[in-house]
Amino acid sequence: MSAAAPGILLARAVLSRLIEPSDVLGQALVAVAGPESAARIAAGRQPAAGALRRSVAALLEENGVQASDRTFEQGLERWLPRAADVAPERDLATVARFGGKLLVPEFEGWPEALNDLGLGTPFCLWSRGPGRVPDARRCIAVVGSRDATSYGLAITADIAAGLAARGSTVISGGAYGIDAQAHRAALAGRRELPGDDGVPVTIAVMAGGIDRFYPTGNEDLLRGVAEAGLSLSEVPPGSAPTRWRFLQRNRLIAALAAVTVVVEARWRSGALNTAHHAAGLGRGVGTVPGPVYSANSAGCHRLLREGSAVCVTDAAEVLELADPFTVPVGEEPEGTLPDAQDRSPRADHDGLAAEDILLLDALPLRKGSDMQKLAVVAGLGVPAVRAGLARLELAGLARRTAQGLWQRSGR
Amino acid sequence: MSAAAPGILLARAVLSRLIEPSDVLGQALVAVAGPESAARIAAGRQPAAGALRRSVAALLEENGVQASDRTFEQGLERWLPRAADVAPERDLATVARFGGKLLVPEFEGWPEALNDLGLGTPFCLWSRGPGRVPDARRCIAVVGSRDATSYGLAITADIAAGLAARGSTVISGGAYGIDAQAHRAALAGRRELPGDDGVPVTIAVMAGGIDRFYPTGNEDLLRGVAEAGLSLSEVPPGSAPTRWRFLQRNRLIAALAAVTVVVEARWRSGALNTAHHAAGLGRGVGTVPGPVYSANSAGCHRLLREGSAVCVTDAAEVLELADPFTVPVGEEPEGTLPDAQDRSPRADHDGLAAEDILLLDALPLRKGSDMQKLAVVAGLGVPAVRAGLARLELAGLARRTAQGLWQRSGR
């Protein structure tokens, strides 16, 4: 691939090497000059004419980014020191060695959902693994604390496995805790990996290069994700997973998925950052409630209080957020809460009209009562009592004694 | 009191004896004819003229209640069978024996908030205890499952005690589980009972007469509430706590409080009924999240998903719902989550600008790096590196080595 790589691939590989994620000036330059000229300009191999600089500044302003006379110059100052490191053929060859490839907006396989990031759209995605990136409607991001509790790990496993079983792709960041559990459960949750349609069961979006598995404690898991699913990064092979790249990586997770679910998060947590990116992009955001005494749920409850996320408790509820018109919110959950568990003392009157509840209350459990007595106790007229007794008898809730009196029956 | 009781008191005592709670026809009759005529009509001691019946029907229609030609007749059929039981002087004497009294809309002490119930407004409130009913802005209802979990009991205690300590009146229904715990914690949460201002620390709104403590297992607690706070009911002494009255009682709890908090509730629960009443009245509704595996939190999560309630985790958050303009939502909670507990690996960069995060990432922990090297690693221009290093040095995050190189410092 690398020898015959088209100019656009090489140009975008160069851009991702020179320019840090979310450097909006770089993306504006690409939008105005095209990737190949942009790469040459960023690498100092082509001058940027005044007209081009003005167009870039205008585009920035349009996007609400203040641009000064120095903005373009400052960009070149940032980018040029790395020009010596540029070796796009080498980077493409590295990725090809892993069976990976470079995804770019101009060619097939590019996840269109990323374009919603506007000037924050990545230049390219370095990918590793047999899968393709599915349509965002099929992707659910599951993210959360590194230091997850056993509760958080359990519900993550349930949700991720449930999503995988329903054909969704579980996207996460490959970190310890919730992220790792989400990948792990998704891998375990679907038998055929990857699907015949090339849709991976899980995708890890990395903050550093896809040639390294970070954190090292997750190496086996992340290798498994790359072999059975897909590993993605906007920074080229060899790049370190810096704080900045972690923060920017979150926007990719949010953009790639229809829904972002935060399973556990502390009051301050990177997962909240991902949730806010998702909300800003108009994606669904769900969060899992937990015990209020758990610091690992404080961030989730914060999202709920801010109205930034919807409360979700299982995979089905997560999927409602992806497609809110398929299942009515508030429907009784199946299976999870068997009736036998519900010891509410008020089951008898479910569905009864007010008069019948009054009458049911008035019916003695033993002995019996006549209609006049029932009318007094229930606060109903005799005709209403007569009609109500017929309904309750039909429902198996009232019966007549041998003496012609009425008493409760059944449940 | 009973001997010289004004006609209005006697009339409303009669109405509460004859007519079941939420019988909107009865309330419409009172609105049209006044309580004294209404009581005589309901007891069959005065005929209802055609004009009056038409006015009642019109009022019902105005309130969205379909009235037929038989509506008024059916009301009389319901009420008349109980006319023989009417003994308002006796009922007033009974309540006076307990040191209680009858609250009516015409006299001081009536909680105006109840009038928000429209035709569902109770005829009167039988009260027992030294306290008065405070303004709704000061009242918080805390309700939930009878079969509470230890988690539910713990958070109920924290919230109710916190509310009591802040001067709120905790309203609940006196049932087992969450209700009982709310009363108990409120009683324990404030030293002086009742306050000098007559504001009770807690109010139990009963489904049956205030002469009986129901359920019997809560007798000691409810006696304590009546002695130190206030016990209320819309049904007269001697009335049984029927299912219907339990359901209707919930609307009184919702109306009396500025906020209703559901601490624990199953998927079907009377507490949800109270929450929906509160929402319908435009009151604040809060609910406490819990483990998704707990059936006792399923109703709470249901409220959150429906958007019927706001997520609350402590007394301060509950009070924000009573007065949302005093504390900004989303403010970091005090005390509950000490910083030491937050092991987030991303504390250093809080508040730093993007360039400084990039630079911080690039600074080596040991050895040192010069500005050119830092520019390449950080993806920044040398001038930006120079300015950023000055800022980071000032923040204690960077320092210069003896060799004039730069490295990380501090945290």
pLDDT digits (tens, 9 = 90+) for A243-266: 999 999 999 999 999 999 999 999
Report the alpha-carbon distance of residue B8 to residue B232 in Å, rounded: 19
Average pLDDT over residues B85-106: 94
Task: Please write the tens of the pLDDT for every residue from B127-155.
Answer: 999 889 999 999 999 999 999 999 999 99
| Residue B338 in this model has a pLDDT that exceeds 80 | no
pLDDT at position A85, please?
87
Q: How far is the alpha carbon of A310 from chain B, nearest alpha carbon, in Å? A: 6
Q: Find the range with the poorest average confidence among A82-91, A102-111, B89-98, B378-387.
A: B378-387
DSSP-assigned beta bridge partners for residue A102? A126
| pLDDT, greater one: B2 or B216 | B216
Give the model's pLDDT for residue B192: 57
Is there a contact between A381 and B76 if contact means CB atoms under 8 Å apart? yes
* Predicted local distance difference test score (pLDDT) of residue B349: 61
Strand-strand pairing, A398-400 and A125-128: unpaired
Going from N- to C-terminal start, the domains of chain B cover 7-127, 129-322, 354-408
Is the ipTM, as predicted for this complex, more than 0.85? no
Is the pLDDT at B28 greater than 60, yes or no?
Answer: yes
Average pLDDT of the residues in A12-16: 97
CA distances for A83 relative to A409, B254, B384, angstroms: 87, 68, 17
* pLDDT value, residue A341: 37
For residues B259 and B140, the answer to whether their CB atoms sit within 8 Å is yes
Could you give the percent of chain B with pLDDT greater than 70?
A: 91
What is the rounded (10 degree) CA torsion for A275, A279, A282, A287?
A: 60
Instruction: Give dist(CA A49, CA A33) in Å, integer.
Output: 11
Under 8 Å between Cβ of B208 and B138: no
Top-confidence residue, B397 or B337? B397
**Least CB–CB distance from B20: residue in A82, A317, A379:** A379
Q: Which residue of A has its CA nearest to B302?
A: A330
| Cross-chain residue pair B292–A293, CB shorter than 8 Å | no
Third-level CATH fold of B354-408: Arc Repressor Mutant, subunit A (1.10.10)
- Band (pLDDT 50/70/90 cuts) for residue A196 is low
Strands A125-128 and A101-103 turn out to be antiparallel
pLDDT (average), residues B353-381: 89
Q: Which residue has the tokens 């730093």?
A: B352
Matching CATH number, B129-322, of 3.90.1150.10, 3.40.190.100, 2.70.240.10, 3.40.50.450 = 3.40.50.450
**Residue A12 to chain B, least CA–CA distance (Å):** 16
- Residues B43 and B302: their CA atoms lie apart, in Å, by 44
Report, as an integer, the average pLDDT of B54-77: 93
Q: A163-184: per-residue pLDDT in tens?
A: 999 999 999 999 999 999 999 9
pLDDT in tens, B235-281: 999 999 999 999 999 999 999 999 999 999 999 988 999 999 999 99
Give the minimum alpha-carbon distance from A244 to chain B in angstroms, rounded to a whole number.
6
Q: Does residue A168 sit in helix, strand or coil?
A: coil
Residue B76's DSSP bridge partners are none
Alpha carbons A250 and A207: distance in angstroms, whole number: 9
Instruction: Look at A343 and B291 and tell me if their CB atoms are within 8 Å.
Output: no
Residues of A in contact with B381 (CB under 8 A): 74, 76-78, 80-81
